[in-house]
Structure 1
């Protein structure tokens, strides 16, 4: 097993531990709010139906993004945490600006599947490699489709959270894995993670 494979496996194990301990609880809170609206109406909510009071504790972690192509999202509204980690106001920037170039095709695939199928919530597990002035940083994104006036999923409610000290901005992340979270919100089990590089796989 190469050193790169070992570091990726270690990142998966560490990230699963952070999730079990509530380190990424903001993602759960926003997803639970979205699920509540979806189950009440039978369809994903529109942006107009969102009430920030429903996820007030995680407000700094949330964002609203809009599709600019079938595979790309542009950030329209962003919480403070995203700006702190990136060291800039991210409004108007593509969501892919958070992601290292070698992982962007995977992000595009997740976005395309969500927009085409109005699929359920998608969790993306992230790892920012350590560099000078930048300690290893673990994180996650959840993408939650919103319907527009025609019923199509052109907008997305999202959340971004990290565990650890961000260090010097900006930070950019490698995607460790992504999975649709079809489990009930109240379930405490860990989601499946699929490592993209090195051929490894792991189920947390």
Structure 2
């Protein structure tokens, strides 16, 4: 008598007992990306891009360690201005002042540069799917990055709010990522109209904020995340500097001649000069 058939016996292959652990793997949560995009959208005025100074850390308190601010310094090149703790942990160091391309492999940097130019020029929202490099000690890890364009205090679109989520960095060494997917969404309904950018008039800054003029079409400045910037003063031209130098030298020469004349001995009276011969001509 046989108990159990062939399928229920132990005569099957060992592969039937292997359970794939891929479905139990912790996937990267995209909630921080959606939260940051919702906050960024709430700051907008119509189709306008929000200002960098409007971003308040209290609005991103739950994901502050995963957020960062980048600045455009050249076409296709951006650098970190601020970065959260988890972003620094992924790099294994302080990333402030470093280019964003340091996070990416050499093959992915061209794609990153093109995406950065499209974000600032269109402008557009950029969302990228990333993967770490596979090594002998660890497999590829998944990550996502979201970049949201911002205006600087001067009115141009040269800043971006970023959010970075990943599966972590258990090794503590620097991680470099390859780009697996790029999703770009235009900010304005009419990208051509938005490309014709005109800087807004800056509001006057007063000692008392309640006396500052309020404009409906101008984004309100929030000092929570604002950068301290000063405007450049008008520099004199080379011709003006030359004229000023000649004037100063002439004034110094006149001053020296005046002092020299005052130091000379005073003229003696005629009585002390002595006698002199005088020639008198008479026709009588």
> Are residues 1:35 and 2:5 paired?
no
- Normalising by structure 1, what TM-score? 0.73
Superposition map of 1:115-134 within 5 A? 115-119=120-124, 121-134=125-138
> Are positions 1:180 and 2:184 aligned together?
yes
Give the corresponding residue for 1:107: 112
1:7-50, Cα deviation, whole Å (9 max, x unpaired): xxxxxxx9xx936xxx1221111111101112x45411111111
Structure ID, larger Rg: 2
3-state SS, counterpart of residue 44 of structure 1:
coil
Structure 2 residue 187 is matched with structure 1 residue 159: no
Partner residue of 1:69 out of 61, 68, 74: 74
Q: What is the distance in 1 between the residues matched to 2:91 and 2:128?
A: 18
Instruction: Provide the residue aligned with 1:194 in structure 2.
Output: none
Task: Note if 1:18 corresponds to 2:22.
Answer: no
Structure 1 contact 135–165 (Cα < 8 Å) conserved: no
Deviating runs (4+, > 6 A) in structure 1? none
Specify the alignment match of 2:143 in structure 1: 139
Q: How many residues align?
A: 164
What's the Cα RMSD here?
Answer: 2.3
Change (3 A) 1:31 1:166: farther
Greater RCO, 1 or 2 (C-alpha within 8 Å, sep 6+): 1
Displacement after TM superposition at 1:134 (Å):
3.9
The superposition leaves residues 126-145 of structure 1 with CA deviations (integer Å, 9 ceiling, x where unpaired) of: 00023244442110111100
SS at match of 2:183: strand
1:57 CA displacement: 0.7
Report if the CA contact (8 A) 1:60-1:79 is conserved. Answer: yes
Contact 1:70–1:115 (8 Å) recurs in 2:
no
Asked if the contact 2:52–2:153 (Cα under 8 Å) also holds between the matched residues in 1, the reply is no
More helix by share: 1
Q: Distance in 2 between matches of 1:133 and 1:81?
A: 22
Equivalent pair of 1:146/1:157 in contact (CA under 8 Å): yes
Tell me if the contact between 1:135 and 1:167 (Cα under 8 Å) persists in the aligned partners. no
1:99 Cα offset (Å): 0.3
